[in-house]
């Protein structure tokens, strides 16, 4: 049965292969069977210090990147979060439903504030409430994301449930749709940390960008950290090889044990060379399409405005119901004097 899906990505920099394997390629797949809403979450990108010009540029670049990966604005609704003001409005209402304790337990907040919770922005603390508003506004069932977002989707369910029991059933309870392979791709230079856009700014060799040229991708894969052994095998004591095999498996659609057999006795050098070829073959069409799309940023912005019109039409009835049930009443229709 066709269900509605919603997911978001921050315009915080160049996307990487973890974003692609953990989320974006599933977005592309899902748009054929489901009614899909995909959102570039610019308000979320303001939860860490930002430069206005860079935020604006990254938003357009993220649209090009999503289209280059295969998101199709004719088969899904692709839009920018701040273009639909209901996201911010619903966030406030949900902030008044959320509890300090449940937000304090969010792992992403704990990681990002790194123990300095008194000096980080309040937006970082309420980040998951805005994320809940994103999904609940559209009555989405499925939220295709990587493993790191599981806890945030649990919170959305809790907030939706609490709101429904306090004010009457208003929201669909969403569930996380997390892929079986590749839901958490690790950094190439440190297998204890997930590959992340923000980390790639300070440690470029930690990740593989979707729009990176073949020579640079190959170089990064060949110099990716590995253990001191020779056996191409996943599992205990081999976190680096496990990560590289997971990337290979996700990209080629071949199970890890089959890859272990294929590369038995061949050593890390040959394995990495084959992985580099597979990654380049998968990403090269994305890079070329991205460059083409970035040739006309005006067209990308027009496409995003059209997406926002479609999104706003679906969000409005939910926001109207929320206003009605919480006692805010109908929106005022303002005519400028
Ligand atoms: P940032 O470092 O700016 O937080 P990010 O790399 O974590 O960026 P997001 O925009 O937060 O990327 O996430 C976009 C999507 O990609 C989410 O669904 C997230 O779960 C998924 N994702 C992010 N990193 C990984 C990863 N290393 N492996 C698998 N999926 C990932
Ligand atoms: N927090 C998410 C991005 C995000 C999102 C969403 C994902 C914002 N709103 C709604 C799914 C649904 C992240 O950092 N990956």
Q: What is the pLDDT of residue 110?
A: 87
Tell me, yes or no, whether 253 lies in a domain: yes
Same domain, 153 and 229: no
CA of 24 to the centre of ligand 1 (A): 10
Q: CATH no. for residue 86?
A: 3.40.50.620
Tell me, yes or no, whether 103 lies in a domain: yes
Q: What is the pLDDT of residue 1?
A: 62
Local structure of residue 21 (DSSP, 8 states)? I
Instruction: Please give the C-alpha separations between residue 242 and each of 41, 126, 197, 238, in angstroms, as whole numbers.
Output: 31, 34, 21, 6
Q: What is the pLDDT of residue 264?
A: 94
Tell me, yes or no, whether 333 lies in a domain: no
Q: What angle do CA 128, 130, 136 make, to 5 degrees?
A: 100
Give me the domain span that covers residue 257.
Answer: 186-293
Q: Give 279's Cβ-side CA count (13 Å radius).
A: 32
What is the percent of the chain with per-residue pLDDT over 90, rounded to a whole number? 91
Nearest atom within ligand 1 for CA of residue 13? 3
The per-residue pLDDT for range 9-48, each reduced to its tens digit, is 999 989 999 999 999 999 999 999 999 999 999 999 999 9
With the most atoms of ligand 2 within 8 angstroms of its CB, the residue from 5, 12, 39 to mutate is 39
Structural contact between residues 36 and 143, judged by C-beta atoms closer than 8 angstroms: no
Give the mean pLDDT of the chain: 96
Q: Mean pLDDT over residues 287-304, rounded?
A: 97
The protein residue with its alpha carbon nearest to ligand 2, atom 5, reads 8
Same domain, 109 and 140: yes
Same domain, 301 and 153: yes
CA of 321 to the centre of ligand 1 (A): 32
Same domain, 148 and 281: no
Instruction: Say what the pTM is.
Output: 0.96
Q: What is the pLDDT of residue 113?
A: 86
Same domain, 170 and 215: no
> Residue 62 CA: which ligand is closest?
1
Same domain, 120 and 251: no
Same domain, 229 and 110: no
Number of domains within the chain: 2
Same domain, 38 and 122: yes
Tell me, yes or no, whether 261 lies in a domain: yes
CA of 336 to the centre of ligand 2 (A): 36
Same domain, 139 and 219: no
The per-residue pLDDT for range 97-152, each reduced to its tens digit, is 999 999 999 999 988 888 687 888 999 999 999 999 999 999 999 999 999 999 99
Partners of 76 in the β-ladder = 36
> Residue 155 CA: which ligand is closest?
2
Q: Mean pLDDT over residues 184-202, rounded?
A: 93
Q: Give 107's Cβ-side CA count (13 Å radius).
A: 8
Tell me, yes or no, whether 332 lies in a domain: no
The CA-based diameter of the chain, rounded to the nearest angstrom, is 79
Local structure of residue 56 (DSSP, 8 states)? H
Same domain, 227 and 100: no
Same domain, 275 and 254: yes
With the most atoms of ligand 1 within 8 angstroms of its CB, the residue from 148, 153, 189 to mutate is 148
Helix, strand or coil for residue 40? strand
The protein residue with its alpha carbon nearest to ligand 1, atom 30, reads 22
The protein residue with its alpha carbon nearest to ligand 1, atom 18, reads 145
Same domain, 209 and 190: yes
For residue 198, pLDDT beyond 90: no
Q: Mean pLDDT over residues 154-172, rounded?
A: 98
Tell me, yes or no, whether 336 lies in a domain: no
Measured over the CA atoms of residue 273, residue 275, residue 278 and residue 282, the dihedral's sign is negative
The protein residue with its alpha carbon nearest to ligand 1, atom 20, reads 146
């Amino acid at each position: 049965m066709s269900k509605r899906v919603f997911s978001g990505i921050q315009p915080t920099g160049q996307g990487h292969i973890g974003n692609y394997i953990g989320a974006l390629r599933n977005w592309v797949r899902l748009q054929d069977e489901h009614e899909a809403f995909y959102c570039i979450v610019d308000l979320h990108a303001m939860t860490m210090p930002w430069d206005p010009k860079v935020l604006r540029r990254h938003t357009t670049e993220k649209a090009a990147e999503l289209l280059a990966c295969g998101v199709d604005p004719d088969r899904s609704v692709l839009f920018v979060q701040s273009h639909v003001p209901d996201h911010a409005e619903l966030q406030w209402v949900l902030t008044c439903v959320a509890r300090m304790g449940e937000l304090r337990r969010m792992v992403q907040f704990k990681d990002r504030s790194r123990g300095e919770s008194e000096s980080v922005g309040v937006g970082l603390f309420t980040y998951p409430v805005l994320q809940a508003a994103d999904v609940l506004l559209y009555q989405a069932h499925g939220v295709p994301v990587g493993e790191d977002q599981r806890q945030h989707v649990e919170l959305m369910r809790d907030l939706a449930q609490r709101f429904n029991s306090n004010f009457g059933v208003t929201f669909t309870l969403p569930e996380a749709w997390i892929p079986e392979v590749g839901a958490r791709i690790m950094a190439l230079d440190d297998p204890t940390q997930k590959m992340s856009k923000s980390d790639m700014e300070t440690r470029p060799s930690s990740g593989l960008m979707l729009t990176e040229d073949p020579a640079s991708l190959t170089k990064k894969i060949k110099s990716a950290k590995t253990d001191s052994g020779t056996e191409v095998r996943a599992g205990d004591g081999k976190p680096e090889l496990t990560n590289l095999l997971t990337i290979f498996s996700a990209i080629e659609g071949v199970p890890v044990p089959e890859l272990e057999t294929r590369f038995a006795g061949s050593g890390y050098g040959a394995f990495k060379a084959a992985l580099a070829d597979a990654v380049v073959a998968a990403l090269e069409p994305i890079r070329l399409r991205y460059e083409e799309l970035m040739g006309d940023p005006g067209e990308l912005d027009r496409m995003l405005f059209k997406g926002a019109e479609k999104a706003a039409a679906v969000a409005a009835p939910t926001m109207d119901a929320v206003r009605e049930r919480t006692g805010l009443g109908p929106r005022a229709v303002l005519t400028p004097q």
